[in-house]
Amino acid sequence: SQKIEQNSEALNIQEGKTATLTCNYTNYSPAYLQWYRQDPGRGPVFLLLIRENEKEKRKERLKVTFDTTLKQSLFHITASQPADSATYLCALDIGNYGQNFVFGPGTRLSVLP
């Protein structure tokens, strides 16, 4: 069956460290993968998109990798800050030229001062 897993429900790290979140999937062949941030009681906010032919994408302190052989994406936040505390969701396209995405369950990140 098709499945998307994100490494853990919750992750605590110390301020200044690098947070690494994992998104693993089975029985999908996404051409695109996205990462979103969601704060409590709000809608998700788009952060980054990476295509299957891109190994890595960066945006400021964020870095995403996409390994289609391992069926895994890693999401890194360097020099993490308490303001980075939120739930992070990965989303895979499930066909139709990237018009339709399915979301993972999310990882709740807490950055401790």
Residues of the shown chain interacting with other proteins in the complex, contacts defined by CB under 8 A: 32, 34, 36, 41-46, 49, 51, 89, 91, 96-106
CB atoms within 10 A of CB 14: 10
Long-range contacts of 102-105 (CB under 8 A, 24+ apart): 102/2, 102/4, 102/28, 103/4, 103/36, 103/44, 104/4, 104/5, 104/6, 104/23, 104/25, 105/4, 105/5, 105/6, 105/9
CB atoms within 10 A of CB 78: 14
Shortest spacing between CB 106 and other proteins, in angstroms = 7
Shortest spacing between CB 42 and other proteins, in angstroms = 6
Of the two residues 80 and 106, which places its CB atom closer to other proteins in the complex? 106
Shortest spacing between CB 101 and other proteins, in angstroms = 7
Of the two residues 77 and 89, which places its CB atom closer to other proteins in the complex? 89
Of the two residues 69 and 99, which places its CB atom closer to other proteins in the complex? 99
Of the two residues 74 and 104, which places its CB atom closer to other proteins in the complex? 104
